[in-house]
Amino acid sequence: MAIIDAGGDPDYDGYAGPITLNGVGDPMEASYGVLTMGADNRIDDSQTYYLPAAASADADVPAVPVEGTRAGDGELKIGTLLPVTGSLAFLGPPEIAGVQLAINEINEGGGVLGKPVVLVEGDSGDTPEFANATTDRLLAENVDAVVGAAASGISLSVIDKITGAGVVQFSPANTSDKLTTYADKGLYFRVAPPDLLQGAAIAKLVADDGATNVAIIARNDAYGTGLAEVVQKTLEDAGITVSVVKIYEPDAGTFDAEVADMVAASPDAVVVIGFE
C-alpha cells in the first residue's frame, strides 16, 4: 500500500511466481503442468513436469489509455462475478477464497485511504442472462472493480456493461484471444494466459510426442472453439496434419458421432479441449 500511496506501480509476485502483463492486460508468459497416466491408469506424479510458453516480443504492446472517468466516493468496493453455480462451479471456491484473502490482507494493513475495502460477492452462473443480472446488481451497489468472470464467454457477455460504467474488470481464468483486442476502454485485465500461449504449449507437447496426424475435439463455447483454432493453426504451421476438428455440445446425451469421425481419420494423437 505504501507503493500505491506514493503513486507507484506495484508488482506482486505470488506463489506461482511473477506475472508480467502487457499493455492490453495479457500475461506475457505461462507455465503449464503436464500430467502423465501411469500403467495403473492413474496420474503418475513422478512424471509431472511443467511446459513453459512465452509471447513473442511484438506482443509487448504499450498500455491502452483508460477512456472516461468515474467519480469516487472514498471507499474501495470490489465485486466478484465468479461461479457459485453452473458448469464451472468447481472453480468458484478457490477463486472466491483468493479474493477474500487479498481483501483481508489489505484491510489488516489499514485498508485503502484509511477505510476497509468492501467485498460484494456475486454468482456468474454459466449463462449470459444470469451473469448480466448479477452484473446489474454489482454496478447498482457501486463497485469499483469486478473480479471475474471465470468463463471467457461469460466475460464477453458482460464486458461492455462493466467497462462502459468505468469499472475495472479482472479475470482469473479467461483465455479467449478475443479479449486481447477487445475495445475495453483500457479497463480489462487477466492473469490466465491467453489461448495463444496455451495453444502453443499444447502443439509443442503433441509435436514432441512425434505425432504427425492429429484430431481435435472441442466444446462449443468461446473457450473451446477459440483454443481449437489456435491449436490447429500452430500444429499446421509446424507441418503437422490436422485431419479432423469436431465441435461438440457439452450437454449432448452422446458423442458417438464425433468419436466415430475421429476414429475414421486414424489419428496418432487426439487433442480434447474441455473440462469436467
Give 192-245 pLDDT, tens digit per residue: 999 999 999 999 999 999 999 999 999 999 889 999 999 999 999 999 999 999
Closest residue by Cα to residue 167 from 131, 193, 138, 191: 138
Contact (Cβ atoms closer than 8 angstroms) between residue 216 and residue 273: yes
Are residues 106 and 152 located together in one domain of the fold? yes
**Is residue 70 domain-resident?**
no
Q: Return the pLDDT at 115.
A: 96
Of the three residues 177, 194, 211, the one that is the final residue of a domain is 194
Q: Return the pLDDT at 1.
A: 61
Q: Return the pLDDT at 15.
A: 64
Are residues 185 and 93 located together in one domain of the fold? yes
Are residues 55 and 103 located together in one domain of the fold? no
- d(C-alpha 204, C-alpha 179), whole Å: 24
Closest residue by Cα to residue 267 from 215, 232, 205: 215
**Which runs of consecutive H residues, i.e. helices, occur in the chain?**
2-5, 92-108, 128-140, 152-164, 195-208, 222-237, 256-264
Are residues 95 and 167 located together in one domain of the fold? yes
pTM above 0.85, yes or no: yes
Per cent of the chain over pLDDT 70 is: 94
Q: Return the pLDDT at 197.
A: 94
Are residues 177 and 224 located together in one domain of the fold? no
Element of type H or E holding 54: strand 49-54
Q: Return the pLDDT at 18.
A: 75
**Is residue 67 domain-resident?**
no
Are residues 85 and 183 located together in one domain of the fold? yes
- When divided into structural domains, the chain yields a total of 3
Question: 84: domain range?
Answer: 77-194
Residue tagged 492429429 (cell numbers): 214
Q: Return the pLDDT at 78.
A: 98
Amino acid at 273: I
> Is residue 102 helix, strand or coil?
helix
- d(C-alpha 174, C-alpha 146), whole Å: 14
Low-confidence stretches of the chain (pLDDT < 50) are none
Rounded to the nearest 10 degrees, how much is the dihedral formed by the CA atoms of 131, 66, 14, 87? Answer: 10
Those residues whose C-beta lies under 8 Å from the C-beta of residue 59, and which sit 6 or more positions away, are: 22, 26, 28, 196
**Is residue 66 domain-resident?**
no
Q: Return the pLDDT at 184.
A: 96
CATH number at residue 104: 3.40.50.2300
Those residues whose C-beta lies under 8 Å from the C-beta of residue 211, and which sit 6 or more positions away, are: 240, 267, 268, 269
Q: What angle do CA 30, 124, 129 make, to 5 degrees?
A: 125
